[in-house]
Chains A and B, each alone.
Chain A
Amino acid sequence: MKRVFFLIALVISLSTYAQEKNNSDGQFRELYPKAVAGDANAMFILGKIYLEGTSSAGKDTGKGLNFIQKAAFAGNVLAIKYLIDSNERSGSGGALDLCQRLQKMGDKYCASKMDGLVEKSIPKTASASSCKKVGDLYDSGNQGAVVKAEVMNCVLQGLATTAPSEEAMSYLRSQANTDSKAFLRLMPYMLKSGSPDWDPLYVEENLPKVGLNFKDPQVKEIFAKNGITFEGCRKTERLRKDTLRQRPSVCRMAAKSGDEEAALYVGESYLGGKDYFPDEPSEASTYIKEVLNSKNPALASDAFILLLDLYRKQIKFHDHFALVSKEIKRNSPNSKAALASFSFEANYMQKNHPSMALDDIQSIVDIADVNDVAQSVKSLVGKTIDEIIKDRGRMMRAVERDSLLDYKKRLLTQKDLDEIEAVRQAAMAKTADTKVTAEGNLPKKLEAVAEKKEPTLLERLLK
Chain B
Amino acid sequence: MKSIFLKLLITTTFCLLGSLTWAADKYCQKSPQSKTYDIHIFGYTYKDMNAKKHMARGLSDLFSGIAVGDRVKVYNHNATGYNLTLDQCAPGCPETSFFENLISTSCSTEVAKRDRKIFNQRFAEAAMGDLNRNNASYNIFKSIQDLNDVYKGERTNNIVAVAISMIPDGINPTDPNAFNKFFVTNVPNLNIALQFPPVCTIGTSPNSEVLKFWREVFDLKHVKFDFKPCNKE
Contacts and interface: CB of A to CB of B under 8 A. Distances in A.
B219 A28 contact: no
A51 to B, nearest CB: 15
Interface string A346-382: 0000000000000000000000000000000000000
A29 B177 contact: no
Interface stretch (A19-27, A122-130, A210-218, A229-237): A19-27
Interface residues of B, number: 13
Interface of B: 176-177, 179-181, 183-185, 187-188, 216, 219-220
A82 interface: no
A33 B212 CA distance: 13
A315 B146 CA distance: 106
B177 A57 contact: no
A32 B179 CA distance: 14
Contacts of A57: 184-185, 188
B27 to A, nearest CB: 48
A32 B176 CA distance: 16
A25 B177 CA distance: 8
30 contacts: A22-B180, A22-B181, A22-B184, A25-B177, A25-B181, A25-B183, A25-B184, A26-B176, A26-B180, A28-B180, A28-B183, A28-B184, A29-B179, A29-B180, A29-B183, A29-B184, A29-B187, A29-B216, A32-B183, A32-B184, A32-B187, A32-B188, A33-B219, A33-B220, A56-B180, A56-B181, A56-B185, A57-B184, A57-B188, A63-B188
B185 A19 contact: no
Nearest to B220: A33
Interface in A36-89: 36, 55-57, 63
A321 to B, nearest CB: 85
Contact of B180 (A25, A33, A36, A63): A25
Contacts of A29: 179-180, 183-184, 187, 216
A57 B189 CA distance: 10
Nearest to B181: A56
A25 B185 CA distance: 9
Interface residues of A, number: 13
Given A22-B181, A22-B184, A29-B183, 12 more contacts: A19-B177, A25-B183, A25-B184, A26-B180, A29-B179, A29-B180, A29-B184, A32-B188, A32-B220, A33-B219, A33-B220, A57-B188
Nearest to A57: B184
A458 B179 CA distance: 123
A56 B184 contact: yes
Contacts of A26: 176-177, 180
A33 B216 contact: yes
Contacts of B179: 29
Contacts of B184: 22, 25, 28-29, 32, 55-57
Nearest to B189: A57
Among A29, A55, A57, max chain B CB count under 10 A is at: A29
A36 B216 contact: no
Interface of A: 19, 22, 25-26, 28-29, 32-33, 36, 55-57, 63
A99 B29 CA distance: 74
The 9 A-B pairs at the shortest CB distance, nearest first, are namely: A25-B180, A29-B183, A56-B181, A56-B184, A57-B184, A28-B184, A26-B180, A25-B184, A29-B180
Contacts of A32: 183-184, 187-188, 220
A287 B118 CA distance: 118
A36 B220 contact: yes
A55 B180 CA distance: 10
A108 to B, nearest CB: 36
Contacts of B220: 32-33, 36
Among A22, A36, A57, max chain B CB count under 10 A is at: A57
Contacts of B185: 56-57
Among B179, B183, B216, max chain A CB count under 10 A is at: B183
Among B176, B177, B219, B220, max chain A CB count under 10 A is at: B177
A63 B187 CA distance: 14
A187 B189 CA distance: 59
A62 to B, nearest CB: 12
B115 to A, nearest CB: 51
Nearest to A55: B184
Contacts of B183: 25, 28-29, 32
A272 B187 CA distance: 89
A55 B185 CA distance: 9
A19 B178 CA distance: 11
Nearest to B216: A33
Nearest to A22: B181
B2 to A, nearest CB: 69
A63 B220 CA distance: 18
A22 B183 CA distance: 12
A132 to B, nearest CB: 41
A259 B187 CA distance: 70
A22 B181 CA distance: 8
Contacts of B177: 19, 22, 25-26
